[in-house]
């Protein structure tokens, strides 16, 4: 594959950064024996020098192959409601089935804490009292490349859909709308001129940060590297710097001009390179009919409909793991904050809501990063399946958010703080005021929504998805558009 000069430079920069860190580590490990040793007076350690303190090892779970104890790490950053039912979280007798009488008690919401029995991301970005958690936009996940909030299907998600996906007959599948960037397969992303490392699932940088922390946190030199190199509060707050994340991702998953990774599952009975148990995807017997969509447990009727985004289905809700799903972007946010709290304790509290990221979180539904939901079979049930036939948006007559709640009565967009890609999603018809501009761009460049104008269905083949991704890459050079709302 022939690389452009910009892409080649980016890949070289990532490799050079890794090489520089390696050389510096060797220098620290092997001092010059012939050098004159000068002993300086010992100064008292200032509060801004956390490297003088020993960094803690990541808590591990011996029952999970010695992997990090993600439940503990997550609950430190996102403390749960204290009223977990004695029998455990509610569970159904089957996907799309009935609530088991012995497991029918739901926990009681508490202000400033999070739901321990989690079934749907419908309430993500909203007040934690409603049962959701922060979205990747809220946690400043840098590889999300979310679609803007323009009242289109998949608003705020990684799928960039045209408005027509929500108005066609039948409705299009949000999950078949293209993601940003050029992919080289289901577990591979090309490093591009326009966006560097494009969208990658959060379990990829999560594994990279875990591996790097474990490799470098032993000894004073490693502590200095992590605390002084990973964080810069003035520009990145309590998040690891984007440039550092890029280097870590490339160090562990880079392959030439691509990022290649395994799914976060057990392979041959052993953890993959990105293993993350709390996804609970594809459990048997609930998913034996091929009805599940990753960690989303769709009923067979919903799965066979052909145009329903799997994300509208609930997470694991049968068996002993019911309600235990936790997003990998939350695990990454929790791990980042756990490390930042050691390195910058005065600036980075241990709990996410008290951290800079959590400031003003979920203060207003009209600025929340919550996705407009579909109509559900029961709009009052957090464990419900999508309605059949598929309908979008949600009516808003129950607990699920629809347009009226998230946008208000008349708005066609909303100012949700975050970084969004605006080049592929067209404006709602009511917001268009220049009919000529719709059909004849002033510079004769390709229309920036060309990659998202087809009505997608979940029956689209991998080759079709690849063509859509290629279309995005082609449009990007002509119509680059990202917007930061603060």
**288 prior amide bond cis, ω within 30:** no
Burial of 168 (0-12, 13-18, 19+ CB in 10 A): middle
| Distance separating the N- and C-terminal Cα atoms of the chain | 39
The tens digit of pLDDT for each residue in 386-405 reads 999 999 999 999 999 999 99
Closest CA to 200 of 161, 241, 250, 134: 250
DSSP state of 72: H
Distance, in Å, from the CA atom of 247 to the CA atom of 245, rounded to the nearest integer, reads: 5
Is a pLDDT exceeding 60 seen at residue 99? yes
Domain ranges of the chain: 50-485
Give tens-digit pLDDT for 255-308: 999 999 999 999 999 999 999 999 999 999 999 999 999 999 999 999 999 999
Whole-number mean pLDDT of the chain?
Answer: 83
The pair phi, psi for residue 146, each rounded to 5°, is -75, 150
Point out the least confidently predicted range of 52-61, 211-220, 237-246: 211-220
Q: Which region among 48-62, 87-101, 226-240 has the lowest average model confidence (pLDDT)?
A: 48-62
Q: Supply the pLDDT for residue 225.
A: 84
pTM score > 0.85 for this model?
A: no
* pLDDT of residue 229 exceeding 90: yes
d(CA 357, CA 346): 15
Beta strands (DSSP E) in 367-458 are 418-421
Torsional sign, CA 117, 119, 121, 122: negative
* Per-residue DSSP letter, 11: H
Asked if 163 and 148 count as a contact pair (C-beta separation under 8 A), the reply is no
The tens digit of pLDDT for each residue in 308-329 reads 999 999 999 999 999 999 999 9
The average pLDDT across 228-240 equals: 96
> Which tokens is 126 given?
């909203």
How deeply is 28 buried, as exposed, middle or buried, from its count of CB atoms within 10 A (0-12, 13-18, 19+)? middle
Q: Classify 261 as helix, strand or coil.
A: coil
Task: Look at the block and give the residue holding tokens 């030439």.
Answer: 256
Encode 456-477 in three state secondary structure: CCCCCCHHHHHHHHHHHHHHHH
Helix, strand, or coil here: 19? helix
Structure confidence at residue 356 as a pLDDT band (50, 70, 90) = very high
Backbone phi and psi for residue 98, each to the nearest 5 degrees, phi listed first = -105, 155
pLDDT in tens, 153-176: 999 999 999 999 999 999 999 999
User: Which pLDDT tens digit goes with each residue over 426-448?
Assistant: 888 765 444 333 333 333 332 23
CA distance linking residue 468 with residue 472, whole number of Å: 6
* Cα torsion angle, 27, 33, 36, 41, sign: positive
Dist. CA 187–CA 262, nearest whole Å: 6
At 57 the pLDDT is: 95
């Amino acid at each position: 594959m022939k690389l452009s000069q910009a892409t080649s430079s980016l890949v070289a920069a990532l490799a050079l950064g890794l090489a520089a860190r390696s050389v510096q580590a060797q220098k620290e490990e092997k001092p010059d024996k012939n050098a004159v040793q000068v002993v300086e007076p010992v100064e008292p350690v200032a509060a801004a020098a956390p490297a003088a303190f020993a960094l803690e090892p990541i808590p591990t779970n011996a029952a999970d192959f010695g992997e990090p104890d993600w439940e503990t790490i997550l609950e430190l950053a996102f403390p749960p409601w204290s009223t977990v039912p004695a029998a455990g979280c509610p569970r159904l007798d089957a996907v799309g089935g009935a609530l088991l009488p012995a497991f029918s008690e739901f926990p009681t919401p508490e202000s400033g804490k999070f739901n321990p029995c989690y079934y749907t991301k419908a309430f993500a970005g909203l007040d934690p009292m409603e049962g959701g958690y922060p979205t990747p936009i809220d946690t400043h996940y840098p590889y999300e490349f979310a679609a803007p909030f323009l009242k289109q299907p998949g608003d705020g998600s990684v799928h960039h859909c045209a408005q027509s996906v929500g108005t066609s007959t039948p409705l299009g599948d949000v999950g078949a709308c293209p993601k940003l960037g050029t992919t080289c397969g289901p577990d591979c992303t090309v490093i591009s001129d326009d966006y560097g490392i494009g969208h990658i699932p959060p379990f990829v940088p999560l594994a990279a940060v875990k591996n790097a922390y474990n490799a470098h946190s032993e000894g004073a030199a490693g502590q200095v590297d992590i605390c002084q190199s990973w964080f810069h509060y003035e520009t990145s707050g309590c998040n690891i710097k984007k440039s550092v994340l890029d280097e870590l991702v490339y160090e562990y998953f880079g392959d030439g001009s691509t990022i290649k990774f395994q799914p976060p599952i057990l392979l041959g009975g052993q953890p993959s390179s990105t293993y993350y148990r709390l996804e609970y995807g594809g459990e048997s017997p609930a998913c034996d009919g091929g009805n599940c969509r990753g960690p989303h447990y769709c009923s067979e009727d919903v799965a066979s409909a052909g145009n329903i985004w799997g994300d509208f289905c609930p997470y694991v809700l049968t068996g002993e793991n019911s309600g235990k799903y936790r997003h990998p972007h939350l695990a990454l946010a929790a791990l980042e904050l756990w490390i930042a709290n050691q390195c910058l304790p005065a600036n980075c509290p241990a709990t996410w809501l008290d951290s800079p990221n959590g400031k003003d979180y979920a203060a207003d539904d009209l600025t929340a990063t919550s996705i407009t939901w579909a109509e559900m079979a029961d709009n009052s049930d957090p464990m419900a399946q999508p309605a059949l036939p598929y309908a979008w948006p949600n009516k808003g007559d129950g607990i699920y958010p629809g347009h009226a709640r998230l946008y208000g009565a008349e708005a066609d967009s909303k100012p949700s703080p975050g970084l969004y890609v605006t080049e592929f999603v067209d404006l709602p018809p009511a917001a268009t005021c220049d009919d000529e501009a719709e059909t004849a761009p002033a510079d004769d460049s390709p229309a920036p929504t060309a990659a998202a104008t087809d009505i997608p269905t979940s029956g689209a083949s991998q080759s079709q998805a690849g063509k859509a991704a290629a279309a995005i890459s082609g449009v990007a050079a002509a119509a680059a558009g990202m917007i930061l709302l603060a």
